[in-house]
């Protein structure tokens, strides 16, 4: 039997993710949205692309949740996206109510699923989803670090004129303005970029990575990025559906790791069919730990409203 992935929010990120899942033939997809006709229309359109592209994944759309029952993975992209001048935190109240309802509705119909939270501000929304669903920490994970690392990798590859496939990058902390890119753990063909570029060049790339989302919002003017976000989410979906045990930077509920008790933050985790299999702890320098804690504090402040 094919796996089943529910994607709530059939907007830019959600619909593109559904397309990527179908094209990779990873699972059947149920698209859910509040707007009448949109998930049904996009679902049908994607289904009709199958014969041309050669995939048998079934994509269906709905305005309700009954069709989502028995999902292996639930991806939450429902909510508002940023407009120019808005920070991710400006989305807090509206998206909190939406994510709470989505997590309750999907969680009770798919009690064994893993929830991937994409809606911003993502780390806070992951907390809202975990609380509303009652799911264990292994089963709720936020997408942010994979995207931020992909952006860092793209900029490193451009700067050095090398293949993106040679790059590896780690970005930790909350998926917000205080995220913590870690240059000494970011490599090209295994060589730390600190050996390949001056500190000035690296800090330019780090800054661009931090502003990566805002750079695209400023260009698009009516919404935020979705090609790279959906690709990043696909990597997480694939790692879990195929039980790859892949280590990726994701937002997870920390219970003492990295000196943090009781908060979602981006750290390297091992992903498999059961969700977050392990939090991988790496040694941080004092300045990196301080930047990480600052970023965790920003997430905690956002969570207060939902305690």
Q: Which residues bind ligand NAD (CB under 6 A)?
A: 8-14, 32-35, 77-82, 91, 95, 98, 101-102, 118-120, 122, 143-144, 147, 175, 223-226, 229
What is the C-alpha to C-alpha distance for residues 244 and 235, in angstroms, rounded to an integer? 10
Cis peptide before 138 (omega within 30 of 0): no
Question: Which C-beta is closer to ligand NAD: that of 181 or that of 197?
Answer: 181
What is the C-alpha to C-alpha distance for residues 302 and 96, in angstroms, rounded to an integer? 10
What is the C-alpha to C-alpha distance for residues 82 and 217, in angstroms, rounded to an integer? 7
Cβ-Cβ contacts under 8 Å for 191 (sequence gap 6 or more): none
Q: How far is the CB of 108 from ligand NAD (least distance, A)?
A: 15
Question: Which C-beta is closer to ligand NAD: that of 119 or that of 197?
Answer: 119
Q: How far is the CB of 296 from ligand NAD (least distance, A)?
A: 17
What is the C-alpha to C-alpha distance for residues 242 and 102, in angstroms, rounded to an integer? 25
Query: 263-287 burial, b for 16+ CB within 10 Å, e for fewer?
Result: bbbbbbbbbbbebbbebeeeebeee
Question: Which C-beta is closer to ligand NAD: that of 32 or that of 237?
Answer: 32
Query: E strands along 133-205, which residues?
Result: 140-142, 167-168, 171-172, 180-181, 187-188, 191-192
- The CB-nearest residue to ligand NAD is 11
Closest-CA residue to 39 (of 16, 67, 9): 9
3-state secondary structure of 11: coil
Q: Are strands 28-32 and 59-62 parallel, antiparallel or unpaired?
A: parallel
3-state secondary structure of 232: helix
Question: Which C-beta is closer to ligand NAD: that of 57 or that of 77?
Answer: 77
Question: Which C-beta is closer to ligand NAD: that of 74 or that of 293?
Answer: 74
Question: Which C-beta is closer to ligand NAD: that of 98 or that of 182?
Answer: 98
Q: How far is the CB of 15 from ligand NAD (least distance, A)?
A: 8
What is the C-alpha to C-alpha distance for residues 257 and 286, in angstroms, rounded to an integer? 16
Closest-CA residue to 249 (of 122, 81, 89, 70): 122
**Active-site residue set:** 175
Q: How far is the CB of 144 from ligand NAD (least distance, A)?
A: 5
């Amino acid at each position: 039997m094919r796996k089943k992935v529910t994607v709530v929010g059939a907007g830019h990120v959600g619909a593109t993710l559904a397309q990527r899942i179908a094209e990779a033939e990873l699972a059947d997809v149920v698209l859910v949205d509040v707007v009448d006709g949109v998930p049904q229309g996009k679902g049908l359109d994607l289904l009709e692309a199958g014969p041309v592209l050669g995939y048998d994944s079934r994509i269906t759309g709905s305005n309700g949740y009954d069709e989502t029952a028995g999902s292996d993975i639930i991806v939450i992209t429902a909510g508002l996206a940023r407009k120019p001048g808005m920070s991710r935190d400006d989305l807090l109240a509206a998206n909190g109510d939406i994510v709470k309802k989505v997590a309750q509705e999907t969680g009770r119909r798919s009690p064994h699923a893993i929830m991937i939270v994409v809606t911003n501000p993502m780390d806070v929304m992951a907390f809202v989803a975990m609380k509303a669903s009652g799911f264990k920490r292994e089963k709720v994970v936020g997408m942010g670090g994979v995207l931020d690392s992909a952006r860092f990798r793209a900029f490193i590859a451009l700067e050095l004129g090398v293949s993106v496939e040679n790059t590896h990058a780690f970005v930790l902390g909350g998926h917000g303005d205080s995220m913590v890119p870690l240059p000494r753990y970011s490599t090209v063909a295994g060589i730390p970029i600190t050996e390949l570029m001056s500190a000035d060049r690296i800090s330019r790339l780090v800054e661009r990575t931090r502003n990566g989302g805002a750079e695209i919002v400023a260009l698009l003017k009516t919404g935020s990025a979705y090609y790279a976000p959906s690709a990043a989410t696909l990597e997480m979906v694939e790692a879990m559906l195929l039980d790859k045990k892949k280590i990726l930077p994701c937002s997870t509920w920390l219970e003492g790791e990295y000196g943090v008790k009781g908060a979602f933050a981006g750290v390297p985790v091992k992903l498999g069919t059961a969700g977050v299999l392990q939090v991988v702890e790496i040694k941080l320098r004092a300045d990196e730990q301080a930047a990480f804690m600052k970023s965790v504090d920003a997430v905690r402040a956002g969570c207060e409203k939902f305690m």
